[in-house]
Amino acid sequence: MIKRPASARRFCSPWQAEEAYERYTIPAHQSTSYLATYRAILRKHPEKASAKILRDLIQSTPGEEGKWFATAKEAGLLDLAIELANRSPTDPQTLTRAARDFMDRNPAFALEAGLAALRWPRCAGLGRATATRSPELMCGRPIRIRCR
């Protein structure tokens, strides 16, 4: 594959640049972690909004939305991070760490992350979840949280 220098890239028409982004960016920038992939694409396409890049990455991995939780949190998209944690299995340790780290800065986010951490361990070991199923259906039993 021939790489064009940066000076040649700016002569592409806007529709060509958008088509190239949609077709080639995500596969070409896969990295060792979800966060590293996001950062690589963000560096390569500074003209794109960070939220759009992240949403494109999330769409590229259906059923694994929860794995983008830490990336959304690092990008400052806390509402999206909680949405992802509630939609798809997310590592409980990551959620617990987020709850601890945000306890003083953003208590609402910390509470939501902590509740999500309580939800997903009940489903551990039961296979891969899909985005269309609720946690209750995946586990086969309702989730009950008691406060004393």
pLDDT, tens digit, for every residue of 1-59?
545 444 345 546 666 778 888 888 888 888 889 999 999 999 998 889 999 999 999 99
Tell if the pTM clears 0.85, that is, is over it.
Answer: no
**How far from 109 is each of 83, 100, 102, 124, CA to CA, in Å?**
11, 10, 7, 23
Least Cα distance to 85 among 111, 57, 56 occurs for 111
Least Cα distance to 55 among 83, 33, 96, 24 occurs for 83
Q: Where are the domains of the chain?
A: 16-60, 76-148
Q: Are 57 and 80 in contact (CB under 8 A)?
A: no
